[in-house]
């Protein structure tokens, strides 16, 4: 614990904020700011932000992973975890219903891109914390590396957003119009949540979208029970949302809307449950769904997260990929892997950071290092699937 404290204080003294700094000159994300400066106070809160690992802690984590990865699940047994992946998740939702995951109430704080920047709607919204967060975010956007001030539009309803052509406007009038009507075809801002589960992100988003009449939310999951749970929720309304069963690994499956119409895609703790060999194709396919300027928003398990260290021997499928007792799987990413995967799909990195915290169980008086990777990737104007514009 002393080592953790020393690291934190050392960074504070030097005026550095460890781990929350993004790659290159990108802005720092508005993540939490509870810093542990006095080790005696560690049990005063459930979570501490910006934690640093000491070399010893990192070496111990590496050793633990080497140990729990030494024995792999037999290849013939692995086949069923892949072919029946949706069944394992379906059983998960039949068992836990919507009680397992907590509502992702942090979502709009971390990903304000989920909301349209609509001046008319904004005027109707009371001065709220979201407004504050969004204006802070817009200010930060001004320092972005890929798109300088010259490409930020001042058009009404597009304040602070890059000036990309919108397929709904005249230049792209053959877009959705040509393909006919589809759920959300009249919307001016469309979001897709992939792997929505029981709706722990869907409903906080829908709640906020009430203030944005032009916005529409799609959400999909390959577990039919998850989609049933979302559709049976009291706040589900087809006027603003469309939930559907869909396997993102199945390239041949059509989406209920055309390519190039989404403003934002949310990938929260989903890619980690997909076989690493299939992730790149999934990211490519999803990138096609975005409008130019659209954002892919990612958050998932990070390498050496406590959840990875806790796996027992015999649960490892391949490097950093494990199967839980219920047949669902989890991969643990590094920031570099995330960068490569999304950039290979032709997207531009706007944020890519490791969110490293110390989680405290005050009752048991134990601490755990939690690690998540969070990224924001934007589709450029001239997008090609290989990433070479
Ligand atoms: C860890 S849960 C996260 C659920 C939700 N995103 C959240 O944050 O609460 C992973 C979800 O991804 C879904 N999923 C996994 N692989 C999928 C695939 N190939 N296509 C669609 N959904 C998938 C699972 O059914 C599950 O609901």
Which H or E run contains 202? Answer: helix 202-209
Determine the pLDDT at residue 175: 39
Banded model confidence at residue 386, pLDDT cuts 50, 70, 90: low
Average pLDDT (112-125) is 64
Question: The tokens of 180 are what?
Answer: 């006919």
The helix or strand, by DSSP H or E, that contains position 276, with its residue range, turns out to be helix 276-289
Express each pLDDT in 284-335 by its tens digit: 999 999 999 999 999 999 999 999 999 999 999 999 999 999 999 999 999 9
Checking 140-147 for CB contacts under 8 A at 24+ apart, the result is: 140/27, 140/28, 141/27, 143/25, 143/26, 143/27, 144/26, 144/27, 144/350, 145/24, 145/25, 145/26, 146/348, 146/349, 146/350, 146/378, 146/380, 147/378
> Ligand 1 centre from 269 Cα, in Å?
7
Is 226 close to ligand 1, i.e. is its CB under 6 Å away? yes
Q: Which pLDDT score, from 0 to 100, does residue 179 have? A: 52
In angstroms, what is the span from residue 271 Cα to ligand 1's centroid?
8
167: Cβ below 6 Å to ligand 1? no
Quick one: what percent of the chain has pLDDT higher than 70? 74
- Tell me the CA distances in angstroms from 183 to 115, 127, 136, 177, 215, one per residue in order: 19, 31, 33, 13, 12
- Ligand 1 within 6 A of 230 CB? no
Residue nearest to atom 27 of ligand 1 (CA): 197
Cα 8 to Cα 17: distance, rounded to the nearest angstrom = 9
Report all structural domains of the chain as residue ranges with CATH numbers, in order of start: 2-378 (3.40.50.150)
Q: Distance, CA 350 to ligand 1 centroid (Å)? A: 24
Q: What is the pLDDT of residues 219-266, one digit of tens each?
A: 999 999 999 999 999 999 999 999 999 999 999 999 999 999 999 999
């Amino acid at each position: 614990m002393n080592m953790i404290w020393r690291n934190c204080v050392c960074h504070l003294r030097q005026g550095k904020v460890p781990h929350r700094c993004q790659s290159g000159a990108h802005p720092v994300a508005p993540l939490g700011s509870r810093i542990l400066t006095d080790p005696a106070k560690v049990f005063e809160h459930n979570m501490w932000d910006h934690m640093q690992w000491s070399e010893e802690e990192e070496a111990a984590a590496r050793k633990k992973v080497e140990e729990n990865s030494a024995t792999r699940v037999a290849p013939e047994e692995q086949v069923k975890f892949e072919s029946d992946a949706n069944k394992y998740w379906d059983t998960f939702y039949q068992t836990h219903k919507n009680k397992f995951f907590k509502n992702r109430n942090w979502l709009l704080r971390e990903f304000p891109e989920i909301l349209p920047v609509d001046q008319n709607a904004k005027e109707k919204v009371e001065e709220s914390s979201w407004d504050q967060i969004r204006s802070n975010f817009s200010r930060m956007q001004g320092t972005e590396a890929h798109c300088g001030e010259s490409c930020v539009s001042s058009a009404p309803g597009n304040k602070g957003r890059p000036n990309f052509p919108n397929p709904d406007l005249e230049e792209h009038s053959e877009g959705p119009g040509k393909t006919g009507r589809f759920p959300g075809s009249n919307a001016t801002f469309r979001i897709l949540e992939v792997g929505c589960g029981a709706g722990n992100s869907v409903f906080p988003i829908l709640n906020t979208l009430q203030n944005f009449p032009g916005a529409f939310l799609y959400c999909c999951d390959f577990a039919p029970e998850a989609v049933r749970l979302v559709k049976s929720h009291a706040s589900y309304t087809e006027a603003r949302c469309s939930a559907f069963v869909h396997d993102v690994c199945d390239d041949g499956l059509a989406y209920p809307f055309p390519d190039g119409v989404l403003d934002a895609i949310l990938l929260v703790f989903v890619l980690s449950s997909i076989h690493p060999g299939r992730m790149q194709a999934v990211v490519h396919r999803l990138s096609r769904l975005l409008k130019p300027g659209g954002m892919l928003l990612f958050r998932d398990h990070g390498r050496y997260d406590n959840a990875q260290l806790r796996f027992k021997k015999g649960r490892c499928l391949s490097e950093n990929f494990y199967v839980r007792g219920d047949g669902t799987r989890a991969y643990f990413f590094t920031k570099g892997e995330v960068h490569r995967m999304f950039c290979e799909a032709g997207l531009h990195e706007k944020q890519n950071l490791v969110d490293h915290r110390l989680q405290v169980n005050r009752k048991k008086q134990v601490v755990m290092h939690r690690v998540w990777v969070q990224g924001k990737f934007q589709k450029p104007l001239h997008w090609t699937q290989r990433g070479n514009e």
